[in-house]
A = this chain, B = another copy of it.
């Protein structure tokens, strides 16, 4: 993740490719913030509970932009600032993050995942996917 050149390809395995592309935990937490929390800018990402460090945040945002998961655009409300949003390649990570939510909420006795959302997700995965995809593509 530290170098700007792409990581050496280690295998043709799709799981390995996915892990190498989105990177690490911090990158996925940024994707989560874009996907479910409506966050769009540097300052908002920085405020997440997990306490991401500024250097890690800017590195991961750059990396996510380079691999085409995130788009960086001039903020229409303040042309000296930038806003981020998910590219289609990032929206495609939605089913993966939904599975993380399901696994985490099942195995964490102290989970704060909203119960109503989990129930809906378990009952109507396809419906939840459709709705969230539509919302993300519009934003």
Q: Which residues of A contact B (CB under 8 A)?
A: 9-21, 24-25, 28-29, 32, 48-51, 89, 92-93, 95-97, 99-108, 110-113
Q: Using CB atoms, name the residue of chain B closest to A107.
A: B89
Interface of A is mostly: helix
Contact between A107 and B20, CB atoms less than 8 A apart: no
- Do residues B24 and A112 form an inter-chain contact, with CB atoms below 8 A? no
- Give the docked Cα–Cα distance between A75 and B32 (Å): 41
Asked if residues A14 and B108 are in contact (CB atoms below 8 Å), the reply is yes
CB contacts (< 8 Å) of A10 on chain B: these are 49-51
- Whether A14 contacts B101 by the Cβ 8 Å rule is yes
CB-based contact B96/A99 at 8 Å: yes
Look across to chain B and name the residue whose beta carbon is closest to the beta carbon of A51: B10
Q: Are A100 and B15 in contact (CB under 8 A)?
A: yes
* Given contact pairs A15-B28, A20-B25, a sample of 20 additional A-B residue pairs in the complex whose CB atoms are under 8 Å apart: A9-B110, A11-B48, A11-B112, A12-B108, A12-B112, A13-B50, A14-B103, A14-B105, A16-B29, A16-B50, A16-B104, A17-B107, A18-B101, A18-B103, A19-B100, A21-B107, A24-B24, A95-B103, A96-B99, A96-B103
